[in-house]
Homo-oligomer: A and B are copies of this chain.
């Protein structure tokens, strides 16, 4: 038994580059040849590492999820209370440097809504990921029903405001509304 070992790191490098391309050019523009050309490799190389195109798209989603989580999760993993956590989350999501990634996020979100079977895991996690963290952040003293209600509202409001921000670019107006909402949590 022998043979060249599988190069997992190579796949990770390629995937990161592919996600960069997708963030820049759009989710609907992903196809073997243009991506491969941008990366300086042959299309066959991508096929070898990712299998089918659909599997590659799923891999992109997974990596995107990690990136967004890394960019928006709490540094130490915990905040004193929900209001602070929500404020920290908004502060990070409203950073223009993250906008390209969020544009891709919403592009995938919209597409997943019209092709649920293709991106099943995405829709399952898109709310649940944040929900559990935000519920925990409210502590064991908070009524579970209230905690869930508040967490749902925080997720929805932040995402709705982000949608507005990405579409209009009107930072002043959206930030003003965000401040109003965050203040209501305290």
Contact = CB atoms under 8 A, between A and B. Distances in A.
Contact of A155 (B153, B160, B184): B160
Contacts of A163: 109, 156, 159-160
B153 A181 contact: yes
A148 B173 contact: yes
B107 A113 contact: yes
A77 B156 CA distance: 27
A64 interface: no
A160 B149 contact: no
A163 B28 CA distance: 20
What is the interface residue range for chain A against chain B? 35 or more
Contact of A110 (B110, B156, B176, B177): B110
Mostly, the A contact residues are helix
A135 to B, nearest CB: 11
A176 B150 CA distance: 10
A89 interface: no
A159 to B, nearest CB: 4
Interface of A: 26-28, 103-104, 106-115, 123, 126-128, 145, 148-150, 152-153, 155-161, 163-164, 166-168, 173-174, 176-177, 180-181, 184
Query: Could you say which of A110, A168, A174 has the most chain B C-beta atoms within 10 Å of its C-beta?
Result: A110
Nearest to A102: B113
Contacts of A127: 164, 167-168
A111 B115 contact: no
Given A103-B113, A149-B176, A160-B160, 14 more contacts: A103-B114, A106-B110, A107-B111, A111-B111, A112-B167, A113-B166, A123-B167, A149-B180, A152-B161, A152-B177, A153-B157, A155-B160, A157-B160, A158-B160
